[in-house]
Amino acid sequence: MATVGLLYPGHSAADDFPALATRVGAELRLPVVITSVGEDAHRVDALLDLGRAERLLDGVGRLSEQRPDAVMWACTSGSFVFGPAGAAEQAAKVAAAAGVPASSTSIAFVDALRHLGMTRVAIAASYPRDVAEHFVRFLAAAGLAVLAMGSHDIVTAAEVGTLQPDDVLAMVQAADHPDAEAVLVPDTAMHTLAIIDRLEAAVGKPVLTANQVTVWKGLQLLGPVPPLPGLGTLFGGGR
């Protein structure tokens, strides 16, 4: 059984991960440690504070009793606001402190797209536009083209966590672009792990969500990722 430890800021959709672990049974453990949050706000200054090393390393210390095989900083905005070099430094500090491989959700999006051989995407973002633009630049630095972006000006992760499946579905459909090879949903505060197949069916292409790519990358750090049902194209599902 693989154990992917998750450093998760706040509580908005933290329950997405244990629910998935229950569904897949003996193949995977996903222990979650809640990292400290200063201000719950999708604002660049607040996100830079959210992702600072002291908060992450405190979480690593509390996660150690779970003996993770890999650790993920399960936060997209709290990694991409640091830019590619800053996100890589975050992951390196977590790995050094944990003594196991580590990465973050923003890096996971890039690596998942490379794994699928895709370069053109649409983004269904819950964030205000100025924050979402940081994600666009993060992807562009990796050679990925954003053809369309929907931003929804939701300021707090707590509010994002209350979105219902139909709300998420509408966001994904509205953000899609006919030339995009995949639609990205970049917020770990959003409950998505139970509805990925439904999202992909609605747009007829892969949908990569923050919580999905976080789990995928945690497993990929350990070797070939096993196919898991209900988690879409990225995990071996059909389109």
pLDDT digits (tens, 9 = 90+) for 184-196: 999 999 999 999 9
71/215 Cα distance (integer angstroms): 10
How large is the average pLDDT for residues 44-48? Answer: 93
Domain CATH code at residue 177: 3.40.50.12500
The average confidence (pLDDT) of the chain is: 95
Whole-number Å distance between alpha carbons of 207 and 230: 12
Q: Give pLDDT, residue 172.
A: 97
88-134 confidence digits (pLDDT tens): 999 999 999 999 999 999 999 999 999 999 999 999 999 999 999 99
Which are the contacts of 36, defined by CB distance < 8 A and separation ≥ 6?
Answer: 9, 55, 58, 59
pLDDT digit string, tens, across residues 198-234: 999 999 999 999 999 999 999 999 999 999 989 999 9
> Across the strands, what pairs with 121?
146, 182
Percentage of the chain with pLDDT > 70? 99
Tell how many helices (H) and how many strands (E) occur in the chain: 11, 9
Q: How far apart are the first and last CA of the chain?
A: 28
* 235 pLDDT higher than 70: yes
Percent of the chain with pLDDT over 90: 90
Domain count for the chain, please give it: 1
- Residue ranges making up the domain that contains 214: 2-235
pLDDT at 153: 86
In the structure, what pLDDT confidence band is assigned to residue 237 with cuts at 50, 70 and 90? low
pLDDT for residue 238 is more than 80: no
Whether 75 and 105 have beta carbons less than 8 Å apart is answered as yes
